[in-house]
Structure 1
Amino acid sequence: MQDWNEAGVWQHLHELLLAELRAADMLNFSRAAVDSSHLREMRGGAATGPSPVDRGKTGSKHHLIVEAHGIPLAVTLTGGNRNDVTQLIPLIQAVPPIRDKRGRPLRRPRRIYADRGYDHDVYRDRVRRFQITPHIARRGTEHGSGLGIHRWVAEGAIALPHWFRRLRIRWERRDDIHQAFITLGCTTICWRRLKTSF
């Protein structure tokens, strides 16, 4: 796992499957959505911290960006105490260029949707610099804004990696190894989506 991760095998495989999904006309870059989930860690290490949703127990967070159908484009790993909004720009930057046999590679969605955890005007401005229109729920406003109709795909997709027992709890001390596992999980999700198109 370590050697293949350092060689970029898992990331390259994820990018290849995204390209296959694009060729099958299964990617929709008109919009994207972001979300995160907490997971408990058992051995300490980098990218861990006290989780505010688990009585301060040490944990980590998976942060995910998906396209309009909920297909994972990129994932990052942080400590459990990291604010979601700090990963908004890293997630956008982590989306790889998705190539096709013709035309320009896909790289940036036109719009991005997020919940109240991402409500900071400074980050809205940073998102706009990527020529992406942010649609982020405001704190203190009532539910029913209508943004959830586009955000739900991220909320559903963030649960998918936890289907894999290895990703429900973090056992690895090294954050790069756990990052490799979560990238492999996203790659498997892409493969399953692609199989349904055959």
Structure 2
Amino acid sequence: MFGVVRRHELSDVEWEVLSRFLPRSGTGRPRANDRVVLNGIVWKLRTGSAWRDVPERYGSWQTLYMRFRRWALDGTFSRVPAQVQAEKDATGDIDWLVSVDSTIVRAHQHAAGGKWGQSIGDEAGDHALGRSRGGLSTKVHLACDGRGRPLGFVLTGGNTNDCTRFEHVMETIRVARIGPGRPRTRPDHVVADKGYSSRKIRTHLRRRGIRHTIPERADQVLNRLNRGSRGGRPVGFDRQAYRLRNVVERCFNRLKQWRGLATRYDKTRESYQATVTIASILLWI
């Protein structure tokens, strides 16, 4: 036991899971206690405070920041959800009715130093910041399972259209097997709103043999009716399945309880991606 768990700190159960995936310290000077450091990182991200304002009980803020950046860049944080998801899938704890959607996150002026653009990594220095009428923002495109837990996500500038990143989001769904076998990448069913209603997306899902429920936009319905018999048949629509789409909204609601996620303070893509990843990990745990 670690003693009294303060507000915004890791519980014993959360620490027990996370501690298995942290890199071991090598030779040389002993490093600061991992649980104390991780508690400081979580406290900072949950409250949205500046690194310099993290309470002294977590140690030097420089140590917290450097450990956070190191684990964000070396893939420590990104490896944890893959392992946790694999363990959950082995026990049948993943609901493969997947919901896809996106949410806008306003970028604080402290994040404005990062280069902004629409690309998702093709450009050197692109940090998923886009300018629109509301100012700089980031968009989190996310796929969650039927219980509202993130299976994968993609970051882009806030001025990016949802449907252009659908296939990228689907590519992030990759749940490894415990034992032999290829990772699972194909949901049983995909549910999305009208923002994803396009022929390209429907064709992509059909080719992969994935059932889907995506309503048509009003203009698409009108165009089809105006073309008469040449317009083709209406797309299939399962109302019961579509009612379950709200799980992705609830997922965003839970993620945005983290103030450091609900407003972006990080300049770099890697740091903000680590923030979303940490919040996602604790949803799974």
In structure 2, the CA distance between the partners of 1:175 and 1:103, relative to structure 1 (3 Å rule), is closer
Count of equivalent residues = 185
Distance 1:104 1:24 in 2: 17
Residue of structure 1 aligned with 2:250, choices 156, 162, 165: 156
TM-score, length-scaled by structure 2: 0.60
Is the aligned partner of 1:15 residue 2:75?
no
- State the identity as a percent: 29
Whether the aligned pair in 1 keeps the contact of 2:107 and 2:136 (CA below 8 Å) is yes
Is the aligned partner of 1:3 residue 2:84?
no
Distance 1:151 1:102 in 2: 32
Which has the higher Rg, Structure 1 or Structure 2? Answer: 2
Give the gaps of 5 or more residues in structure 2.
Answer: 1-67, 115-126, 222-237
Distance 1:173 1:130 in 2: 37
Distance 2:251 2:205 in 1: 22
2:94 paired residue number: 27
SS of aligned partner of 2:256: helix
Residue of structure 1 aligned with 2:156, choices 38, 55, 78: 78
1:171 paired residue number: 265
Whether the aligned pair in 2 keeps the contact of 1:33 and 1:112 (CA below 8 Å) is yes
Distance 1:16 1:60 in 2: 27
Distance 2:241 2:194 in 1: 11
SS of aligned partner of 1:157: helix
Residue of structure 2 aligned with 1:39, choices 105, 114, 117: 105
Whether the aligned pair in 1 keeps the contact of 2:148 and 2:247 (CA below 8 Å) is yes
Q: Deviations over 1:46-103 (max 9, x none)?
A: 211134xxx4322111111011222210011111111111221111111123323466
Amino acid at match of 2:129: T
Give the gaps of 5 or more residues in structure 1.
Answer: 192-198
SS of aligned partner of 1:148: helix
Distance 2:241 2:155 in 1: 25
Q: Which has the higher contact order (CA 8 A, sep 6+)?
A: 1
Whether the aligned pair in 1 keeps the contact of 2:151 and 2:173 (CA below 8 Å) is yes
Is the aligned partner of 1:112 residue 2:193?
no
SS of aligned partner of 2:271: helix
SS of aligned partner of 2:105: strand
The alpha carbon displacement at 1:138 in A equals: 0.9
The alpha carbon displacement at 1:145 in A equals: 4.3
2:275 paired residue number: 181
Whether the aligned pair in 2 keeps the contact of 1:119 and 1:136 (CA below 8 Å) is yes
More displaced stretch, 114-123 vs 17-26 = 17-26
The alpha carbon displacement at 1:36 in A equals: 0.9
More strand by proportion, 1 or 2? Answer: 1
The alpha carbon displacement at 1:125 in A equals: 1.0
Whether the aligned pair in 2 keeps the contact of 1:35 and 1:158 (CA below 8 Å) is no
RMSD: 2.0
Whether the aligned pair in 1 keeps the contact of 2:143 and 2:151 (CA below 8 Å) is yes
Whether the aligned pair in 1 keeps the contact of 2:174 and 2:183 (CA below 8 Å) is no
Distance 2:146 2:192 in 1: 13
Amino acid at match of 2:69: Q
